Amino acid sequence: MILSFFDQFMSSTHLGIPLMALALVLPWILLPAPSPRWLNNRLITLQSWFINRFTQQLLLPMNMAGHKWAAIFASLMLFLITLNMLGLLPYTFTPTTQLSLNLGFAVPLWLATVLIGLRNQPTAALGHLLPEGTPALLIPGLIIIETVSLLIRPLALGVRLTANLTAGHLLIQLIATAAFVLLPIMPAVAILTASILFLLTLLEIAVAMIQAYVFVLLLSLYLQENI
């Protein structure tokens, strides 16, 4: 029983085709394409409004140099939200529960922000490793601590997204299994458990959107430190 709970997180193959690759391609197919007409339909209008509002909120604290990343951040946000939401459907595979995939998103983008800081303002970028006014005895240890905290940022991004989604999926499966087991024995308790499952599903929908937003927001904050 314990192993079956974690089977949903295994990246399997079907007819030699990795499901990870298929799950990564599917969100782009589902997104509506822009219309050449002057008046768009409701779905495209809602999508455009969401992208504009998200981009405005994300780029509000940034200077003009950070606005070049608007397309990358908006695309990543939509991609992560779509992957997380599709993973809540029954009999689907959620790629963002894989730590390797999340690190594949986090490490290159984090490294790009660090390299931009070292290229544009190397003194300020290296100055983050040693706060001003630090006593001489604490300098070696503080540099090591700040360097470790800098290097652990992409790992924290990937682990945060993976842990939140994995915990939510496991909790949904546990409560759903309990509801099915209790249905023939104690129907009243099973109905109560199903109600809790419904509320938990609504919570997981919110978590799927919030975690995608937090992932991109932290990347934008790392970028703001280096531009």
9-13, 45-49, 202-206, range with greatest mean pLDDT: 202-206
Strand partners, 18: 13
Closest CA to 68 of 222, 225, 220: 220
Q: Which residue has the higher pLDDT, 207 or 135?
A: 207
d(CA 72, CA 109): 10
* Cα 182 from Cα 6, distance rounded (Å): 22
Q: What is the pTM of this model?
A: 0.82
Output the pLDDT for position 187: 85
The chain-wide mean pLDDT, for the chain, equals: 82
Helix ranges (DSSP H) in the chain: 2-6, 19-30, 42-59, 70-86, 99-120, 122-127, 139-151, 153-182, 187-225
Highest mean pLDDT: which range of 61-65, 133-137, 140-144: 140-144
pLDDT value, residue 8 = 62
